[in-house]
Amino acid sequence: MKKLFCSIFGHHYAVSKKVTSHIKEYKCVHCSKEVTTDVSGNLSILTPELQDINRTLERIYQNRHSQQVA
């Protein structure tokens, strides 16, 4: 039923994880479909490969910003 709602009205994405200040992961509140922003700023389906890339980016981003504060 929830997938039917999304097929009629479209997905309603909410931010589920902030990877960097520019890259975020989103999840549909109705059907739980997960997407992320790609290098162009468009939404792409969140594949295991993209999840791994996002984890790496998040780690690099956090390390870089924690060094600037200290």
pTM of the model: 0.84
Residue 51 near residue 19 (C-beta atoms within 8 A): no
CA end-to-end span of the chain = 50
pLDDT at 70 over 70: no
Indicate whether 3 pLDDT > 90: no
Question: What mean pLDDT, rounded, does the chain reach?
Answer: 90
Residue 66, pLDDT > 60, answer yes
Token code pair at residue 35? 């997407």
High-pLDDT (> 90) share of the chain, %: 70
Q: Which residues fall within 8 angstroms of residue 20, CB to CB, at 6 or more apart?
A: 57, 58, 61
Task: Encode pLDDT of 19-45 as tens digits.
Answer: 998 899 999 999 999 999 988 889 999
In angstroms, the CA 5 to CA 67 distance is 45
Residue 38: domain span: 2-69
User: What is the tally of structural domains in the chain?
Assistant: 1
